[in-house]
Amino acid sequence: MPGDILVGVISDTHGLLRPEAVDALRGVELILHAGDVGKPEVLDQLRQLAPLFVVRGNVDHGDWASPLPVSEIVEIGGRSFYMLHDIGELDLDPPTAGFAAVVFGHSHQPSIETREGVLFLNPGSAGPRRFKLPVSVARIRVSGGALYPQIITLNV
């Protein structure tokens, strides 16, 4: 069995990549950004930390954003992760499709939920604070095919 893989998950940066978010993602082997990037510089900074997979969110417009996919499938440690920005636009059945996890953003509300054996993870928003919602990112440790998610609330 291969060793553990540590995955960083971030969303809704809206053009702001906080140093606290960078610190929380340091040491991960790859990063998933679930959309609403805001500015291409955010992606450049994240790519300096680890390989990056990113989907386009509803605020991502312009030449830099148009090549970003609306959804993405990423294989990690033998498990399939499905990425999209808005869970309301999910148009497939993750258990039937064989996905281990669905990673999404949009609501700015961090959540970890398991439905029919599939992890549904929203890392929350790492960008500008909205209302009284926390500023957060997430990590997932993939070990022996099992997924161990964790929300990390940033002190900002």
pLDDT of residue 131: 82
Domain span at 12: 5-153
Both tokens assigned to 23: 């610190």
Both tokens assigned to 82: 């499905």
- Total structural domains in the chain? 1
pTM for this entry: 0.96
Cα 28 from Cα 9, distance rounded (Å): 10
Torsion of CA 25, 31, 34, 38, to 10 degrees: 70
Supply the CATH number for residue 41's domain: 3.60.21.10
Segments in the chain below pLDDT 70: 1-2
Nearest CA among 139, 112, 142 for reference residue 126: 139
Beta strand 79-84 with 101-103 is parallel
Residues in CB range of 47: below 8 A, 6 or more apart? none
pLDDT of residue 1: 43
